[in-house]
Amino acid sequence: MTRLEIDFLTEYDDASLLAELRRVATASGSDTVPKADLKRIGRVSHSAIVRHFGSLRRALQLAGLKSARFMKAADEELIHHRKDQAADSEPLTRASARGSRLRQSHKVLNRNLCRKITTDSHEPV
């Protein structure tokens, strides 16, 4: 009789979910897990990861993996990336942004950072 292989997780705790993300990354030969890879070879759904950790980006960070996209960045992340960009002698280009997994242009980073600084300066003390 043929034995069926389980294609889902038996436990959904932090350790099991993070291990699954690492397994999918290894299986795809990448340091990240996009939603498409999770759907294609994962044993847990994207929505289960998001429900458990709040976002795929947070789960990837906890798993020691990189986020494939850079969207809805926290203020600290924007400031960190802007400082890194300023420290580099070469300007940020689309090609270098893709290489560093930073998918926003320097104009977007500057605009978001300026918006944050302007908003903070108008808050009552």
pLDDT per residue as tens digits for the range 20-45:
999 999 999 999 999 999 999 999 99
- Please tell me what DSSP assigns to residue 6: P
Q: Which residues, 6 or more positions from 32, have their beta carbon under 8 angstroms from its beta carbon?
A: 25, 60, 65, 66, 67, 68, 101
What distance in Å separates the CA atoms of residue 110 and residue 91, rounded to the nearest whole number? Answer: 13
pLDDT value of position 125 = 47
Q: How many residues does the chain have?
A: 125
Render pLDDT for 52-105 as a digit per residue (tens, 0 to 9).
Answer: 999 898 999 999 998 866 556 667 766 776 777 666 645 555 555 555 545 455
Closest CA to 109 of 86, 75, 82: 82
Residue 124: pLDDT above 60?
Answer: no
pTM for the predicted model, two decimal places: 0.56
pLDDT value of position 79 = 73
- Please tell me what DSSP assigns to residue 101: T
What distance in Å separates the CA atoms of residue 45 and residue 56, rounded to the nearest whole number? Answer: 11
pLDDT value of position 1 = 66
Residue 33 has a CB neighbour count (10 Å cut-off) of: 29
Closest CA to 43 of 13, 19, 9: 9
Per the model's pLDDT, the better-predicted residue between 47 and 115 turns out to be: 47
